[in-house]
Amino acid sequence: MTPPAAPNSAAARDIAYALHPYTDQKAHAENGPLIMTRGKGVRVFDDSGREYIETVAGLWCAALGFDNERLVAAATEQMRKLPFYHGFTSRSHEPLIELSEMLVQRAPVPMSKAFFANSGSEANDSAIKMIWYYNNAIGRPQKKKIISRMKAYHGVTLASASLTGLPANHKLFDLPIAGILHTACPHHYRFAHEGESEEDFATRLATELETLILAEGPDTVAAMFAEPIMGAGGVLLPPRGYFPKIQAVLKKYDVLLVADEVICGFGRTGNYWGSQTLDVQPDILTCAKALSASFLPISGVLVNEKVFQGISEGSATVGTWGHGFTYSGHPVPAAVAIETLKIYDEIDILGHVRRVGPHMQKALRDAFADHPLVGEVRGTGMIAAIELSADKAKKTPFDPAKKAAARLVKLGEENGLILRMLPGDAIAFSPPLIMEEGEVDDMVARFGKALDALSVQLRREGLAVV
């Protein structure tokens, strides 16, 4: 049991005053926080000086690790030059212009314009508003429904949380809002029929999508959101042929496709965009996280010319496009993002991921694919997950009340790892993109010790077939 926080300590003050995101508040009041004080490379250090390998780059985002003097200098220089200006009513500044240009030029398919917000949630929320505005502007006021997928993660604002297909993001929040639909999750291991190939599974999902659109009425369905690889839902890769089949259905009924690249963008999958890895051709693309290597908050929305023209015509009718944030394209985060993209180019981040990524995937599979507690090891590039199973042969999940993955996270801490638990007792691996092979091996070895410790616990409790 965690000892009580000392009076007036940082932990006690945290318990007294901070409301933590994605946290069991009662448990937090009893156990207190794990407080980080500094970072170096792929490692972070707590307030007792203990070192941890950060296996998920914070929240999928610290692509360049936890220290980078060039990004500090970029922020400092911009703060001295122009610490703030906005983009409202045709105002602009050089970082906003340069970053817009860089993103449009790097897009996986032809894009027209870039819009900026402060988080992936805001980017996806903005994309929803753009889609509604676009359809109103071109005379299709009924075409507003938006399709997402079960186990998808698109954010936590009212609209983006409605897109998210995870129960914890809906329960007690009165979500989802009206007009948001969910189609099947494309996880072959968990949801394919017995004996169903990946290709046949993809075909069935495309048929189910078409059935949904026809049942709702094609003239009422505006767009579909999709992560190339589903992140917070479990690091779920689609089956072979999935996106071409899905996109054929969307094109048939004139339904826009939004690629949520918040996690997959900027090299995570081995290509600059997850869309390139998974054969996605979006009309709108959202990005965040690695855009600034998470040194400062910033996100982006890229729209193609068709969508931009609709927005343009609508704004001429209304007299303005009534959307944006005080900090849209804030010059300091924008300057850091520009420097981040330059660093990616200079260090050849794609070449690095294409070298280290296969090493990480092989190391995880070699070490854990046959482990009696592991149902599946999945991933590509430098993103992966290990899904635990109470009965490997039957793919039986653990009773959620037993909190198997949560216990593994705690054992990870004891072995110098920061782990991320995902739905379905999965553990994510999405380390800083700068991680080297030797650091991968260290991470895998530490995880093996934690997993073996969990095995001992579960055997004693009779909770797993081992």
The domains of the chain are located at: 34-67+348-461, 70-346
Tokens of 339: 């420097």
Residue 465 pLDDT > 70, yes or no?
Answer: no
Does the domain at residues 70-346 carry the CATH identifier 3.30.470.10? no
pLDDT tens digits, 69-101: 999 999 999 999 999 999 999 999 999 999 999
Give the C-alpha separation, 251 to 226, whole Å: 15
As a whole number, the mean pLDDT across the chain is 96
Residue 401 pLDDT > 70, yes or no?
Answer: yes
Mean pLDDT, residues 358-387: 97
What's the CATH number for 34-67+348-461?
A: 3.90.1150.10
Mean pLDDT, residues 134-149: 98
User: Who contacts 31 (Cβ-Cβ below 8 Å, separation ≥6)?
Assistant: 2
pLDDT at 85: 98
Rounded to 10°, the helix 349-368/331-346 angle is 80
Residue 305 pLDDT > 70, yes or no?
Answer: yes
Share of the chain above pLDDT 70, in %: 98
Residue 140, burial from CB neighbour count under 10 angstroms (0-12, 13-18, 19+): middle
pLDDT at 295: 98
Give the C-alpha separation, 358 to 374, whole Å: 20
Residue 12 pLDDT > 50, yes or no?
Answer: yes
Tokens of 337: 């993002």
Residue 39 pLDDT > 50, yes or no?
Answer: yes
Q: Which of the residue ranges 169-173, 368-372, 396-400 would you say has the lowest mean pLDDT?
A: 396-400
Give 164's pLDDT tier (boundaries 50, 70, 90): very high
> First-to-last CA distance in the chain?
28
Of 186, 198, 188, the residue nearest 224 (C-alpha): 186
pLDDT at 2: 55
Name the amino acid, one letter, at 133: Y
pLDDT tens digits, 234-247: 999 999 999 999 99
pLDDT at 1: 47
Alpha-carbon torsion (389, 392, 395, 398), positive or negative? negative
pLDDT at 58: 98
Strand partners, 221: 145
Mean pLDDT, residues 257-263: 98
pTM of the entire structure? 0.95
Tokens of 198: 């990946």
Q: Could you give phi then psi for residue 153, rounded to 5 degrees?
A: -135, 120
CB-CB contact of 269 with 40 (8 Å): no
Could you give the strand order of the β-sheet that contains 374-380, starting from the edge strand earlier in sequence?
Answer: 374-380, 383-388, 426-429, 420-422
Count, residues in the chain: 466
Give 7's pLDDT tier (boundaries 50, 70, 90): confident
Of 264, 283, 284, 286, the residue nearest 275 (C-alpha): 264
Give the C-alpha separation, 113 to 328, whole Å: 14
Q: Could you give phi then psi for residue 436, rounded to 5 degrees?
A: -100, 170
